[in-house]
Amino acid sequence: MLRLTLTQMRLNLGRLIAAGVAVMLGTAFVAATLLADDLIKQTMDASVSASYRGADVVVSNADAPASALAAVRRLPQVAGADAVSQVPVELVAGGRSETPLVGSLATTPELRTTRAATGRLPERPGEILLGKDLTDRLRLHVGDQVTARTLTWKDGAAAPTPQETRLTVVGLLAPTTGFALAPDAVATPSDVSRLLAEMGGRDRMSGLVVHAAAGVDPQQARDAVAAVGGWGEAAQIRTGADQIAADTRELTNGVDVLAAGLLAFAAVALFVAGLVITNTFQVLVAQRTRTLALLRCVGATRRQLRRGVLTEAGLLGLLSSLAGLLTGYALVTVVAQVLSHWQDVPIPATVRPTLLSVLLPLLVGLAVTVLAALSPARAATRVSPVAALRPAGAGGLRSRASRIRLGLSVGLLAVGAALLVVGARTSMDSHSTHGLPAGMAGGVISFLGVLIGGQLFIPRLVGLVGGLAGRFGGVPTRLAAANAVRNPRRTATTSAALLIGVTLVAMMATGAAVITATTDRALDTHYPVDVMIGDLPPGPEAEAAGPLTPVPAAVPAAVAKVPGVGESALLSAAQVQLSLASGSAGSGSWATAAAVDPARAKATLRDAGGLDGLAPGVVVVPREVARDAGRLQDGDLVRLTAGGRSVTLRARVTGLKVSAVVVVPADLRSVVPDAPTTMMWLRLTGDADARTVLDAVQEAMVTATGSARSVPVTGLAAERAALQNGINTLLLVVTGLLAVAVVIAMVGVANTLSLSVIERTRESAMLRALGLTRRQLRVTLAVEGALIAGIGALAGVVLGVLYGWAGAAAVIGGAWRPSLTVPAGQLALLLAGGVLAGLLASALPARRAARTSPVAALAE
Amino acid sequence: MTNTVPGRAPATLQTSSPTTAVRAAGLRKVYGSGPTAVTALDGVDVAFESAQLTAIMGPSGSGKSTLMHCLAGLDSATAGQVFLGQTELTKLSDNDLTLLRRERIGFVFQSFNLLPMFTARQNITLPLELAGARNLSRTRQDWLDTLIATLGLGDRLEHRPSELSGGQQQRVAIARALISRPEVVFADEPTGNLDSRSGGEVLAFLRRSVRELGQTIVLVTHDPVAASYADRVVLLADGRLAGEIHDPTPESVLAGLDALRAVR
């Protein structure tokens, strides 16, 4: 029996290889995920270990006096100890400013984790080591000077006092760790603690690393450090090894979640591969009906036939899983090689696979293949011995659409759809994501309904579309339309394989589009201004702060010329006293009054809702200012007073997110005739890269004013872009992962088509004899492939949009009202991709069919 | 009834008369190469006259199917020439051959070879649609009606092949072969899959289409009864022409075949 199985496998090698590729891709996915997980964990372990180099004891989350360091250093078990401190410091050079984390260099040589890539380590106060990123941004070189700016709040002072320290760049920081939080710059401990003190940091420390004296057990050293006491309630005192283990555990939690997510995608890919396998074996069994019947005639038992098919599936599964494992390993190795050449990411160039990541892909691939072959194996046992005696011919494999199937499908669809709606509603009504579990369950259940019902509705859809196409196309199209529904079950399975992948991609695209559109609106409200030049108006106590810094006269014109800057608006501002018109003059609170032209503001702001109603005679009062001013209501008459002049305006209380009242320029001039321009709002053009424009704006200001920074530039556009980039990147990654499932489904389409070619060899030969040209024969198969794949893609796109909407509603419906948009361009691309996949899949089978000479086929 | 003694073919067949529909000259067909080469046709010179039913007969392996395939432009010749009317088939490309088959040649197969998913009518008009005809012209429609009436298919047109008997399927196939008014129809064992009554009907139809419609038909068979419906029988043995029988009867054909075996 085994010999027979092997012979049959050899005969159908091409077919089995095509099916095996599907399993291989799925297994490679699983293997690559597990191996990447191994790799990341090993990298993290190495990286965390590096960041605790030489540390035998680590104190974290401490709240201890700085004097504790000296106490630890005096311990006999301790060779050296250093405080771990990192402080964000503003560094200024040539008008540019960055605020990196500055860490202190360990004084104990064994505990030093930083190295200088060029130059040297800071040895005395006044020296600093900077990361490559920072020197690029600040355009600094080794040997240049940089200014550290801190603001000190003196007791009782209304405004902070700026302090400046000149530092010399002595070297470039060597990149060390890929994952642990590392400082961007390193200075001597005394500089770091002084900067910390200037910024109001109390004389305390939060962490400590200790190098034990020679011959002292880390555990003893830990106990000695713990015994010093006064570390604070939350403090954790661990040996170095324990700390590394704890940190790695914390970091890899996230990786495990990621791996679980990736494995979910791999499961989808394997499921699709399973469908392809089922299809292939169904046809192999159908093709071998005569052989199987003959075997039954000469005495083979049903059990032997079933075992034969399952053995074949097992061998196929094992071999393709092995190939998949190797592919996954190669893939991860190549990626690791590429990344390890990329100097910022210290990844080991080779993967050390764990037993699990080798065995699991093999077992899963094998199990999927054998399970998928179960139903075809059962079909093999149903072949009656008499079948061998009948003449060979197109046997009717037509399966009747069962009522049970229809009922089950409709039932699942109804339950799933109901759960989807419930999920979305729950989230939206409860302002939470509580509806998510119901929504997910609904999605899975209804999709199961779709897959089960696919055998009923997919052939009908194919028939319908094919019929329409046939009316306009020639004979090849009509032939293709008729051929595509000749074996409804096979067409349905093939289409379904593609449908799964396309549905998921369409769902992700739609979900992302809805979330982007919705959060865009939310972002507009939160970040109405792309770029702000000038200081934010200080709070109500600003009277003492003196005059506001005006925007230099040369700036607006220079900035407006920067590429990427679109609309802009200028704001003038002055301090005024705000009081109810009915109150006595001179009473009321101080406030900043800003003036802007309403039309310019509308053009520049992404969401000008807070300025609604701004007009001559009106003062827009932000809700918070209204509250601070006391009992100020919408519609009240309000008096603005400054320097003996005053104007009475009608208050309009809005949700504007600034701490200033807003009027039109003319109204402000009537109180403060010479109010300076203190702020400029910019709106970036749609295609501009926020970070680049922001740098260019700063550059333009430096050039225009001829000096270092005079007024601050705040770019919320960058945050906004970062958020959108995050969503887009995620979408891209997910789409890439699901593309694997689509590729596998394509293998399925090609498989089905080549089976059709084999089954219809005589028919094709007859058509060729009757005058069907080779080209027409190829077109026939191409149209059939495009029909099967196109319908799968079409159904997938429609389903994906619905799932995307429901999913987005369940995820974000609680926070915002979702905008139900459709990413039409992407979906059209997906649909075109599906049809193209069908066309491509038909290429090889069609070649083969067209090459067969009519005589040879007729002679069979 | 004239009987030619099996042996060399008579000289009259080597030149084409004005009424010749298909003609082969020095036709050779060799399969494979080297020591395993098999010569299926070994220098065949034969002509088939218009508006006649000619049968090609011979024992298994005599090369009769190969001859038909070469004459019909389904297979290429190793050497020699094949003419359909004035066209030399052996010079044409695959695409030109396909177009030629579509427009000038009809086929009837042993296993009917109808498309199972199309109705009888759709199967009959398939060659016209392959040639790009969207709607049937008046003359085509008349011709279709004539064929349907002649073949007695009037009430079976909207049925699919699986709902037709073997004889009916073969009649549909004949209608399909005749619909484009080809210069010649090749019928390869058209009665091989039929019982004798249906077979007799089919052969009668073929002969009527020659007599009444002026069709040229080349029939390949190994059944002496089928061959007796022909105007002339061409005998083939070992890839060579082995004689011919005019106005054959089953008996004369059998006798001819026996003579062939005797010579060998």
* Mean pLDDT computed over A66-92: 84
Question: Are residues A170 and A105 in contact, defined by beta-carbon separation less than 8 angstroms?
Answer: no
Of A475, A483, A854, the CB nearest to B129: A475
Which pLDDT score is estimated for A544? 40
Q: pLDDT by residue (tens digit) across B39-62?
A: 889 999 999 999 999 999 988 888
* Higher pLDDT among residues A589 and B20, named by residue: B20
Q: pLDDT by residue (tens digit) across A461-472?
A: 888 888 888 777
* Mean pLDDT computed over A729-734: 74
Q: How confident is the model at residue B109 (pLDDT cuts 50, 70, 90)?
A: confident
3-class state of residue A726 by DSSP: helix
Q: How confident is the model at residue A632 (pLDDT cuts 50, 70, 90)?
A: confident
* Mean pLDDT computed over A806-826: 79
**Chain A residue nearest residue B31, CA to CA:** A856
Q: How confident is the model at residue A158 (pLDDT cuts 50, 70, 90)?
A: low
In this structure, the dihedral spanned by the alpha carbons of residues A61, A66, A68 and A74, taken in order and rounded to 10 degrees, is 130
CA–CA distances in Å: residue B222 to residues A120, B58, B177, B184:
101, 6, 21, 20
The CA distance from B45 to the nearest CA of chain A, in Å, is 22
* Mean pLDDT computed over A352-376: 88
Q: pLDDT by residue (tens digit) across A502-554?
A: 888 888 888 878 877 777 777 777 777 888 887 654 444 444 444 566 777 78
CA B179 to chain centre: 15
Q: Among A717-721, A799-803, B155-159, which is the least confidently predicted range?
A: A717-721
Q: Among A591-600, A709-718, A797-806, which is the least confidently predicted range?
A: A709-718
Which pLDDT score is estimated for A505? 83
Which pLDDT score is estimated for B27? 93
Which pLDDT score is estimated for A315? 92
Which pLDDT score is estimated for A718? 66
Confidence check: pLDDT of A848 > 60: yes
Please tell me which of A171-175, A702-706, B67-71 the model is most confident about, judged by mean pLDDT.
B67-71
Which pLDDT score is estimated for A348? 66
Which pLDDT score is estimated for A545? 44
Q: How confident is the model at residue A575 (pLDDT cuts 50, 70, 90)?
A: confident
Q: Which residues of B touch A475 (CB under 8 A)?
A: 126, 129-130
Which pLDDT score is estimated for A342? 62
Q: pLDDT by residue (tens digit) across B161-194?
A: 888 988 899 999 999 998 888 999 999 888 888 8
State whether A474 and B132 contact (CB < 8 Å). yes
Tell me which long-range contacts A162-168 makes (C-beta under 8 A, separation of at least 24).
A163/A198, A165/A126, A165/A191, A165/A194, A165/A195, A166/A126, A167/A91, A167/A126, A167/A127, A167/A128, A167/A191, A168/A126, A168/A127, A168/A128, A168/A143, A168/A144
Question: Are residues A540 and A576 in contact, defined by beta-carbon separation less than 8 angstroms?
Answer: no
Q: How confident is the model at residue A153 (pLDDT cuts 50, 70, 90)?
A: low
Q: pLDDT by residue (tens digit) across A655-665?
A: 777 778 888 88
Question: Are residues A497 and A748 in contact, defined by beta-carbon separation less than 8 angstroms?
Answer: yes
Which pLDDT score is estimated for A181? 58
Which of B67, B76, B84, B130 is the best substitution to test chain A (most A C-beta atoms within 10 A)?
B130
Which pLDDT score is estimated for A482? 85
Percentage of residues of chain A with pLDDT beyond 70: 88
The CA distance from B4 to the nearest CA of chain A, in Å, is 32
* Higher pLDDT among residues A256 and A356, named by residue: A356
- Identify which of A426, A491, A419 has the alpha carbon closest to the alpha carbon of residue A448: A419
Q: pLDDT by residue (tens digit) across A214-236?
A: 888 888 889 988 888 788 888 88
Q: Which residues of B touch A777 (CB under 8 A)?
A: none
Q: Among A42-46, A71-75, A556-560, B61-65, which is the least confidently predicted range?
A: A42-46
Mark out chain A residues that contact chain B at CB-CB < 8 A.
394, 474-475, 478-479, 482-483, 486, 762-763, 766-776, 853-855, 858-859
State whether B131 and A474 contact (CB < 8 Å). no
Q: Are strands A127-130 and A161-173 parallel, antiparallel or unpaired?
A: parallel
In this structure, the dihedral spanned by the alpha carbons of residues B200, B203, B204 and B208, taken in order and rounded to 10 degrees, is 180
Confidence check: pLDDT of A18 > 80: no
Of B75, B109, B131, the CB nearest to A771: B131
Reported ipTM: the value is 0.77
* Mean pLDDT computed over A678-695: 80
State whether A483 and B117 contact (CB < 8 Å). yes
The CA distance from A855 to the nearest CA of chain B, in Å, is 6
* Higher pLDDT among residues A284 and B105, named by residue: B105
Percentage of residues of chain A with pLDDT beyond 90: 4
